[in-house]
Amino acid sequence: MRVTPLKVFWVCLGFLLLLALGTLWALSSGTASIGVSEVLNWLAGAELKSSEQVILTNFRLPRVILAILVGGSLSMCGVVFQGLLRNPLAEPFILGVSGGAAAGAVIALSIGLTGLYPRAGFAFAGALGAMFLVLTMGRRSGRLESSGLILTGVIINAFFTAVIMFVISITTDQKLHAIMFWLHGDLGGANLEQSWLLLPAVLLVGGFFFYRSREINLINSGEQAARALGVNVDQVKLSLFVAVSLLAGLTVCLGGLIGFVGLMAPHLVRMALGNDHRLLLPASGLFGALFLLLADTVARCLISPAQLPAGVITASLGAPFFLLLYVKRGTRWL
């Protein structure tokens, strides 16, 4: 499928329109229902009743923005890992990056560092530590081979899961509920400070991903062929893995462990639009943002006035999807 700048523009515009509709639905839905017309008037600058103003400004808008940024980040990270490892089922969770970030954030929460920046720092350290271990231990004959990286990632992820379980087991009951809810992907504590921290990271790292999209295409076609065409495969992989670690670490820190977005969204977009990363990256980012936004809105409304973590909804949709995929296609991607 031939990719042109005009095609990228129209595809992204279509996803942006869907995202705008999803945003209107998310802002108007919840325990206190607010009409779409009122939301549109509010977005245009009109004043609403004080209670509705507080709900939209302090709760729903920050949560919607964070869901969009987290969903887009997870989806783009999944695209990059899948392209580099030539495996449509690869994503940050498989390589242990998300597990490392979660372990770092859980340690910060358990010792009382509940502030955003200390928690983000611990998550960064955990993600980078996990990626360093995977890159160091996953080398075979001096090269970063996909099979070695995936196997090492599974081992590293198991280790960090054990670390998380140990920290939870020695944590006081008061902190345990917050940690467990966050681990399942809770966006309920969203605020604009988190979004302002994540937004520049999404733009910068996402731009870097798109800048490297040609090299990702070549590596995805075959590492030997990419080397023959002058691509420094190991250097490209290393730079992209570090960038993914930074973005995934920050995403996990702010949104918790939200599974299947980085697997499901890129795979569905790839099935519809093909495997050219110049189109796949922006389209998957927008679709992942829409997917998590809708999932989080359902999580808010399903058992209202109580709320579910968004990760429960994404896992409920993603697990059956990939079970069907496994049954249909067998083990050739594992």
**Which of the four pLDDT bands, split at 50, 70 and 90, describes residue 330?**
low
pLDDT at 173: 67
pLDDT tens-digit readout, 198-240: 999 999 999 999 999 999 999 999 888 999 999 999 899 889 9
pLDDT at 293: 96
pLDDT at 291: 96
- CATH number of the domain located at residue range(s) 5-329 in this protein: 1.10.3470.10
pLDDT at 72: 96
55 secondary structure, DSSP code: I
Residue from 184, 305, 328 nearest 256 by CA: 184
Q: Distance (Å, rounded) from C-alpha 9 to C-alpha 99?
A: 35
Residue type, 308: L
pLDDT tens-digit readout, 247-261: 998 999 898 888 889
User: Looking at the DSSP assignment, which residues form a beta bridge with residue 143?
Assistant: 140
CB half-sphere exposure, 83, CA atoms < 13 A: 34
Query: Does the pLDDT of residue 92 top 80, yes or no?
Result: yes
pLDDT tens-digit readout, 29-74: 988 888 898 999 898 888 888 888 889 989 999 999 999 999 999 9
pLDDT at 334: 52
For the chain, what are the domain ranges? Answer: 5-329
pLDDT at 272: 86
Q: Do 90 and 150 form a contact (C-beta atoms < 8 A)?
A: yes
Q: Tell me the average pLDDT of the chain.
A: 87
Mean pLDDT of 141-150: 63
pLDDT at 134: 83
The H or E element spanning position 320 is: helix 310-329
User: Tokens at residue 306, please?
Assistant: 């109580």
* Helix residue ranges, H only, 190-309: 192-211, 213-221, 223-228, 233-255, 261-273, 277-301
pLDDT at 75: 96
pLDDT tens-digit readout, 3-35: 777 888 888 999 999 999 999 999 999 888 888
Is 196 buried (19+), middle (13-18) or exposed (0-12) by CB count in 10 A?
exposed
pLDDT at 144: 59
| Most confident stretch, 66-70, 92-96, 128-132 | 66-70
**Which of the four pLDDT bands, split at 50, 70 and 90, describes residue 146?**
low
pLDDT tens-digit readout, 174-199: 667 777 777 877 888 888 888 898 99
**Which of the four pLDDT bands, split at 50, 70 and 90, describes residue 289?**
very high
pLDDT at 313: 92
pLDDT at 278: 92
Q: Do 99 and 133 form a contact (C-beta atoms < 8 A)?
A: no
Calculate what percentage of the chain has a pLDDT beyond 70: 93
Of residues 327 and 196, which shows the higher confidence score?
A: 196
Q: Do 64 and 293 form a contact (C-beta atoms < 8 A)?
A: yes
Q: What is the dihedral of CA 155, 158, 159, 165, to 10 degrees?
A: 180
Query: Does the pLDDT of residue 332 top 60, yes or no?
Result: no
Residue type, 300: R
